[in-house]
Structure 1
Amino acid sequence: MAKATGGESRFVVRSNEIDYRGQATMPALVSYMQEAAWENTATLGISMYELLERGLTWVLQRMRVEMFRYPRHAEPIIVETWASGREKVFLHRDFRIYTSEGELLGQATSVWLVMDVVKRQLVAVPDFIMAQEIAPGQEPLPFAKGKLPQLQETQYEQQTPVRWHDIDLNRHVTNTRYLQWALDTLPVAVLEQQLSQVDIIFRAESLLGDTVTAVAGAGEAPGVYLHKLISQETGKELVQARTEWKKLES
């Protein structure tokens, strides 16, 4: 369990957060983890609201999630999170998801940056954030770093306009929506399998009125897929991701 610098949040899987198997979806689980991170930063006085008062905000740059078992509808879960390290302007945060009985369901590591909300530019980590002690209560997960394989051949593609309910507090597309769009590009035959791991990098923001093109194709091994999201408005690559899928046991 994490020390005082970490946090523990409790959730119950809701009916609008499950798939056809009655299990929580990956976007829902990522939402739980981000909510836990928000609650933890609030106790430290560095939540998004505190940053916004200074003209700053948190930006998720990368997240790598590994799931061992997905919680089911109405199942209570506990999300532990803690700041796990710093590298220059990169702030690392880890997560572990447990059942109320202590079974480890999944884990994740993430990278966060600080952005100036007016200039829409990344800034050096302010001193009031740097002053927070990094003292993980357990061994940090390996940092999410290094390049992802490049998508060589597009097999699947879809376009999605950015609508009002895709926008978050930072007035850009929320990262869980990006994740959803990346996954939804894959065919049903893949989506019906078990998503065991996702590594997603958020490279640029997309705003209301934009249209996002999502493409995907086979990766370097069976069950691996590579993803890209591109802004039609700017031509920028918004997201790069790698997913691993396992066939369900009959």
Structure 2
Amino acid sequence: MKNNPDIFSQTFNLPYSALTIGGRLKMDWLLNVFQNAASTQCHAYGISGFDMAEKDLKWVVAQYRIQIHTPIDWMTPLVVQTWRAPWKNLYEVRQFRLMAEQDHRLETSSPLVTASSIWILIKAANNRPVRLAPNMPAALMKSPVQEPAELIKPDADLAHVDHECSFPVRFLDLDLNEHVNNRVYVRWAVESLPGRLNFEYTPVTCDVIYQKEALPGDTVQSRISMSFENDLLFTDHIIIRQSSKEKLAHLMLTWKKTGIRHLFHTKK
């Protein structure tokens, strides 16, 4: 790929902590990679969360759309790339791709993982969105995206509920904004799949809409509906605050049947 100064790149090896049973990639770990890359680029631009906090502002993510195209093995050398652009002074559209290091400069190479997201700037005092231009360097407002991000529009309610479970908000779920970090909602959705299915299927796509914040002291309830088609499982998730029944997030995942790979065997 041609060098583009607006694309931030960071090289690393796929760590052991990114893998779950059978050597599968953890979907929620990807959000950590994306957030870290975005935060590093924003820091260079002077618009990081810490920079915005000085203006009584916060960045919040409104949605993610993630697709895992190819399985990745432990210690694979990788490059995460991210780039951003404003949309009509309303929100930031931020794109991500995860590439094999040896392929990331090739025009014909295919990414291992792709993702798009929408980030909104809000006033910390009242959580109301604000316009970007008064709070961003002018240079960052000169190249708006030509098309808006594709908005995820799920059904208002689940067609049916096949399974549900509850999760307490734990201290380590919280981020600098003092609410549950966006990756945790994905973990809750994955964990709400009945155990036997998590052994048989692995997620390959994930759409998330964030609607309200889960806060310290909350218990959330994750409800899930499921449908099967050949070797695919489609799940629709609603996460609510248990005390008030407010909807916090809506997620839609596609899972592929892979079976379990036993990587380690006990020697007798």
User: Does TM, normalized by the shorter one, top 0.5?
Assistant: yes
Match for residue 112 of structure 1?
119
Is the CA contact (8 Å cut-off) linking 2:63 and 2:117 kept in structure 1? Answer: yes
**Whole-angstrom distance in 2 between the partners of 1:220 and 1:86:** 37
Q: CA deviation at 1:20?
A: 1.0
Could you list the per-position Cα deviations for residues 24-68 of structure 1 after superposition, in whole angstroms to 9, with x for gaps in the alignment?
Answer: 311111210111111111111111110011111110100000111
What is the SS of the residue equivalent to 2:25? coil
The alignment-based identity, stated in percent, is: 26
Instruction: Give the corresponding residue for 1:93.
Output: 94
Q: Give 2:22's aligned residue.
A: 21
Alpha-carbon displacement from aligned partner over 1:194-219 (angstroms, at most 9, x marks no partner): 31111000000011001100111125
| 1:177-200 CA-partner distances (Å, limit 9, x unpaired) | 111001111123432323111100
Which stretch shifts more, 206-215 or 70-79? 70-79
Structure 1 unaligned spans of 5+:
none
Q: Quick check: 1:176 aligned with 2:183?
A: yes
Q: In the alignment, what sits opposite 1:5? A: 6
After superposition, residues 151-170 of structure 1 pair within 5 angstroms as: 151-170=158-177
CA distance in 2, matches of 1:115, 1:208: 20
> Is residue 13–residue 73 contact of structure 1 (8 Å, CA) maintained in 2?
yes
Residues in 2 aligned to 1:123 and 1:234: alpha-carbon distance in whole angstroms = 27
Root mean square deviation of aligned Cα? 2.4
The answer to whether structure 1 residue 76 and structure 2 residue 77 are counterparts is yes
Return the letter of the residue paired with 1:160: F
Partner of 2:244: 234
Contact 1:5 1:133 survives alignment (8 Å): no
Q: Which has the larger radius of gyration?
A: 2
How many Å apart are 1:23 and its aligned residue?
A: 3.3
Shift of 1:10: 2.0
The structure 1 residue matched to 2:206, chosen from 187, 191, 198, is: 198
Aligned residues: 248
The superposition leaves residues 94-141 of structure 1 with CA deviations (integer Å, 9 ceiling, x where unpaired) of: 0110011115201010001012222233322242427204659xx989
| Partner residue, 1:35 | 36
What TM-score, normalized by structure 1, do the two folds share?
0.90
Would the alpha carbon gap of residues 246 and 87 (structure 1) be closer, same or farther in structure 2, given more than 3 Å must change?
farther
SS in 1 for 2:99: strand
Q: 1:236 to 1:124 in 2, by over 3 A?
A: farther
